[in-house]
Amino acid sequence: MASVALSLDNKVALITGGSRGIGAETVRLFTAAGARVAFSFRQARERAETLVLDCGGPSRCVAIEQDLTNPADGRALVAGAVRSFGRLDILVVNHGIWPSDDAPIADMTEQQWRGTMSVNLDSVFGLVQAAVAQMDRQERPGPDEACGHIVLISSTAGQRGEAFHADYAVTKGALISLTKSLSTELAPRGIRVNCVAPGWVTTEMSAAALGHPELGPKIAAGIPVGRAGTPREIAGPVLFLCTPWAGFISGEVLNVNGGAVLVG
C-alpha cells in the first residue's frame, strides 16, 4: 500500500521570523518535507546558524539577517531568498511583534502604534508584493497546479480583538482581510493565499503570560483543549497548506487554537 506524504520536493520557501518559536519549527518541517528554505532573523544569529546546520546546511537552508519594519525591507528579503536558491515557490509570513505590557487605548503611545503597524503590516506589503512578482515570472507547472503559495500568520486576536492590545489585534485582523483580498486576486493566476490563526502557543513571546501564576491558569481555562499549543502544532498546518493536498484551498482562515476562538 502506497504511503501518503506531505512533500515539498523541489520547492523553495521563504519563512520570516524563522530563528525561533513557530518560525523555527516551520523551517524544520519544511526542510524535512524536502524544501530548500530561506528564513529571516533579526537578532538571534547563533540560533539561526544552529538551525541552518540542523536542517542540512547552506545547500538546504539559509538564514538572512533582515529588519522587517517597512515595505523596502520586505522586498529586500525576498530578493535575498531568490539570490540564495534561484526561485521562490512559498512565502510564509510568520514574523510579528506583540507588545506584552497592557496598553489601554487612551494611554497607548503613537510610537507603539506605529511600531506595531510597521513590523506587522508595512513589511508584509513589501514581502507579498515582491513574492507575487517573482512567482508570476516563474513557469507554471500545470493548468491545475499552484505555482505559488502564500501563508499569512494571523491570530485569534485578529478575529475577536484583544483588550489592551488593540495595535496587535488590528494588524492580525488586517492580515485576514489581506488573505481574502489576495485570494480573489491571485487564485486565477495559480497563487494560493491562505491564513493560519493560532491562539496561545508556548513560545518565548508568550512565556511571561503563560507562566504567570494567576494569568496562566486563566488562559488555559479559556482553551477548550485545556492548554496552549506547541510551535509544531502550528507549523504542521502551515506545511499542509503549501502542499498539493491543499491545492483547492484558497482564501481560508485555518484556526489552530484548541477551539479558543469559539468561546472567547
CA–CA gap between residue 21 and residue 232 (Å, rounded)? 9
Would residue 168 show up in a list of annotated catalytic residues for this protein?
Answer: yes
Instruction: Give the position of cell 502551515.
Output: 238
Beta bridge partners of residue 36, listed in sequence order = 12
Cell numbers linked to 197:
490563526
Q: In the structure grid, which three cell numbers stand for residue 108, read together? A: 497607548
d(CA 238, CA 40): 17
Angle at 231 between CA 225 and CA 236, to 5 degrees: 85
Q: Which of 168, 193, 206, 258 is catalytic?
A: 168
Phi–psi pair at 13, nearest 5 degrees = -125, 145
Amino acid at 209: A
On whether the CB atoms of residues 192 and 246 are closer than 8 A, the answer is: yes
String of DSSP letters for 75-141: HHHHHHHHHHHS---EEEE-------S---TTT--HHHHHHHHIIIIIHHHHHHHHHHHHHHHSPPS
Instruction: Tell me the catalytic residues.
Output: 168
